[in-house]
Chains A and B, each alone.
Chain A
Amino acid sequence: MQLVNIMAYTKRLDGRKSFTELRPIEAKAGIIKSAHGSAMFRIGKTIAYAAVYGPRELHPKFMQDPKTGILRCHYNMMPFSGSGERIKPGPSRRSKEISLVTKNALLPVLDLTDYPNAVVDVFIEFPQTDAGSRCAGICAASIALADAGIPMKDLVAAVSVGRVDDKIALDLDYQEEAYEDGPVADIPVAMLPSTGEITLLQMDGEISKEMLMKAIQEVRKAVGQIYEVQKKALKEKYASNAPIADVESDIVDTGVATAGTAGNTSGASGAPQAPDLEALDRELDEN
């Protein structure tokens, strides 16, 4: 195809300077006004929107758990968001599986025992994708959950790591995933930035155990960058929202109060209060 040395992946195809460099990241909280919490997370050309609704009453009723609220996640690509043909709307086997692993990636940081019989719904949609969508979705969802004021002990940061030929590369884009001149492995990982605990791990491709361990180590080093962007998005939203807002933002204010307690899982605080940015700052930094 091109004049490249076969079996040698020496330079990233999209021009990134190193194999551990992430694509440009951008995040914004509170992008969907109708939702209790929401966020946009963009990594390279992959854009994820997440909206959180709830805690709200769970239907169908037989799914209700009197001991705790439950989390539901829904991953969906917009019909025009893929790089090839139009994607048929509605759930597919792929989107259902990703919804499941997304839920499992987020659940460990949540404590929903204060919301018996309730559900927290997370809807994740993609207007544009270029690989790494499940990770971008998890990053967006975790900001949106915090924005909704759901008690969380940490945010969740996720990025894919991979093996392209003999190199370990972070945050593969579509070109790299489709690399044909050597073996490729794609490993989406979600991690709690403060402890390094892993809440999502999948892989397809071929890789040795040694390489896998190294790859995960690279994720550990990189999640900090994502975490910073996530925290910044939350702080920015509440910085711009700090003055007494309009009538509609009652829910948002409650969100601030509980987002401020993101460092502990002792439960949501009751009455809405003015956002305490310093406390939010401190608590996020402690983690």
Chain B
Amino acid sequence: MALLNDSLKQHLIDSLRKGIRYDGRVLDEYRPIAIERDVTRNAEGSARVKIGDTEVIAGIKLMVGQPYADSPEDGNLVVGVELSPLASPDFELGPPSIEAIELARVVDRGIRESKAIDSKKLCITASEKVWVVSIDVCIVNHDGNLLDACALATLAALQDTHFPKYNGDKVDYSERTTKKLELKKLPLLVTVYKTGDNLFVDPTPEEEMCYDAKLSVTTVQNGDICALQKGGEKPITQDDINLMTDLALAKAKEMRKLLK
């Protein structure tokens, strides 16, 4: 979709270096964000997030499964991201691409490392049965900044997740109980991009081809950082990290208002 010839790409890079963006936004400005909850009734929790024309749906299924041998009292968390060919001509059928795997792992890291979900509370019978929180994020339309959208949709869906009925033997998915999945923290992910000396957020697909480095920063309410992922082919300096995390924190604070 984002087909850039060399001269247009150079033009975009030059513009970004001057602080001018492809669609006229200021550097630290997100496109409009819309969050809609409970978009699919068959999931125990779900949310649709739109950032501009990017649209993703996150769905949570709660299943009863076996704990891992090294953590017999902890429930499991599984995150999958599907880059369906529905969402972009660049996505292809087949096993998850490396891009999808990275998206899923970075989203997973934020939730897991912030300990937003108390995994001990997911234990039903130690060493035997625990709740498995299965998060799937499906991309409906790709128009840039998938990672921030996936992470936000995941949080919005988790906020609205109810346990299904469970009688000790079988899960009855036809009925949701009033028991909510407790979310102790809101680990919000913001990816900050760097081109030249300028930092910007929420890139379009064209801008995603024009950055030197990026840093995905997941932060919780009190400002602590719980996950990081650097991307891009160029290095960043300590000063960059300082500025990038500051920007991520400021943006996360704004975004958090949307989640309440």
Complex CA distance for A201 and B225, rounded to whole angstroms: 56
The answer, yes or no, to whether A235 is at the interface (CB within 8 Å) is no
Main secondary structure of the interface of A (DSSP, over half): loop
Complex CA distance for A153 and B96, rounded to whole angstroms: 37
Closest residue on chain B to residue A124 by CB atoms = B86
A85 and B61 contact, CB distance less than 8 A = yes
The answer, yes or no, to whether B110 is at the interface (CB within 8 Å) is no
Question: With a CB–CB cut-off of 8 A, which chain A residues contact B138?
Answer: 78-79, 125, 127
The answer, yes or no, to whether A49 is at the interface (CB within 8 Å) is yes
B143 and A33 contact, CB distance less than 8 A = yes
A34 and B80 contact, CB distance less than 8 A = no
B43 and A80 contact, CB distance less than 8 A = yes
Whole-angstrom distance between the Cβ of B160 and the nearest chain A Cβ: 13
Question: With a CB–CB cut-off of 8 A, which chain A residues contact B136?
Answer: 78-80, 86, 89
Q: What sequence of 0s and 1s flags, for each residue 48-77 of chain A, a beta carbon within 8 Å of any chain B beta carbon?
A: 011101001000000000000000001010
Residue of A31, A33, A47, A74 ringed by the most chain B CB atoms within 10 A: A33
The answer, yes or no, to whether B87 is at the interface (CB within 8 Å) is yes
A-B contact count (CB 8 A): 100
A80 and B42 contact, CB distance less than 8 A = yes
Question: With a CB–CB cut-off of 8 A, which chain B residues contact A32?
Answer: 55, 86-87, 140-141
The answer, yes or no, to whether A35 is at the interface (CB within 8 Å) is yes
B85 and A53 contact, CB distance less than 8 A = yes
Q: What sequence of 0s and 1s flags, for each residue 26-54 of chain A, a beta carbon within 8 Å of any chain B beta carbon?
A: 00000111110000000001010111010
Closest residue on chain B to residue A88 by CB atoms = B80
The answer, yes or no, to whether A270 is at the interface (CB within 8 Å) is no
The answer, yes or no, to whether A217 is at the interface (CB within 8 Å) is no
Question: With a CB–CB cut-off of 8 A, which chain B residues contact A84?
Answer: 173
Contact A128 B85, CB 8 Å, known A33-B143, A34-B142, A86-B134: no
The answer, yes or no, to whether A254 is at the interface (CB within 8 Å) is no
The answer, yes or no, to whether A121 is at the interface (CB within 8 Å) is yes
Contact A51 B40, CB 8 Å, known A83-B174, A89-B136: no
The answer, yes or no, to whether A183 is at the interface (CB within 8 Å) is no
Whole-angstrom distance between the Cβ of B48 and the nearest chain A Cβ: 8
Q: What sequence of 0s and 1s flags, for each residue 2-32 of chain B, a beta carbon within 8 Å of any chain A beta carbon?
A: 0000000000000000000000000000000
Question: With a CB–CB cut-off of 8 A, which chain A residues contact B53?
Answer: 33
Complex CA distance for A78 and B171, rounded to whole angstroms: 20
Complex CA distance for A90 and B83, rounded to whole angstroms: 11
Complex CA distance for A128 and B36, rounded to whole angstroms: 15
Whole-angstrom distance between the Cβ of A285 and the nearest chain B Cβ: 31
B141 and A127 contact, CB distance less than 8 A = no
Q: What sequence of 0s and 1s flags, for each residue 196-233 of chain B, a beta carbon within 8 Å of any chain A beta carbon?
A: 00000000000000000000000000000000000000
The answer, yes or no, to whether B88 is at the interface (CB within 8 Å) is yes
A34 and B87 contact, CB distance less than 8 A = yes
The answer, yes or no, to whether A196 is at the interface (CB within 8 Å) is no
A123 and B46 contact, CB distance less than 8 A = no
Contact residue among A31, A51, A86, A90 (Cβ-Cβ distance under 8 Å from B63)? A86
Question: With a CB–CB cut-off of 8 A, which chain A residues contact B114?
Answer: none
Contact A90 B95, CB 8 Å, known A74-B85, A76-B84, A80-B42: yes
Whole-angstrom distance between the Cβ of B196 and the nearest chain A Cβ: 26
B63 and A128 contact, CB distance less than 8 A = no
Contact residue among B55, B63, B86, B143 (Cβ-Cβ distance under 8 Å from A123)? B86
Closest residue on chain A to residue B46 by CB atoms = A80
B59 and A34 contact, CB distance less than 8 A = no
A83 and B173 contact, CB distance less than 8 A = yes
B143 and A34 contact, CB distance less than 8 A = yes
Question: With a CB–CB cut-off of 8 A, which chain B residues contact A49?
Answer: 86, 140
Contact residue among A76, A81, A89 (Cβ-Cβ distance under 8 Å from B40)? A81
Whole-angstrom distance between the Cβ of A180 and the nearest chain B Cβ: 15
The answer, yes or no, to whether B82 is at the interface (CB within 8 Å) is yes
Q: What sequence of 0s and 1s flags, for each residue 30-46 of chain B, a beta carbon within 8 Å of any chain A beta carbon?
A: 00000000011111001
Question: With a CB–CB cut-off of 8 A, which chain A residues contact B80?
Answer: 79, 89
Complex CA distance for A47 and B41, rounded to whole angstroms: 11
Can you name 20 A-B pairs with beta carbons within 8 Å? A31-B140, A32-B87, A34-B141, A45-B41, A50-B86, A51-B86, A79-B59, A79-B134, A80-B42, A80-B61, A81-B40, A85-B63, A85-B171, A85-B173, A89-B136, A90-B95, A123-B86, A125-B84, A127-B39, A127-B46
Given A124-B86, A127-B39: 9 more A-B contacts, CB < 8 Å: A33-B141, A35-B86, A35-B141, A49-B86, A51-B86, A53-B89, A74-B93, A76-B84, A128-B40
Hey, which bits of chain A sit against chain B, CB under 8 A?
Answer: 31-35, 45, 47, 49-51, 53, 56, 74, 76, 78-86, 89-91, 121, 123-125, 127-130
Hey, which bits of chain B sit against chain A, CB under 8 A?
Answer: 1, 39-43, 46, 53, 55, 57, 59-61, 63, 80, 82, 84-89, 93, 95-96, 134, 136, 138, 140-143, 171, 173-174
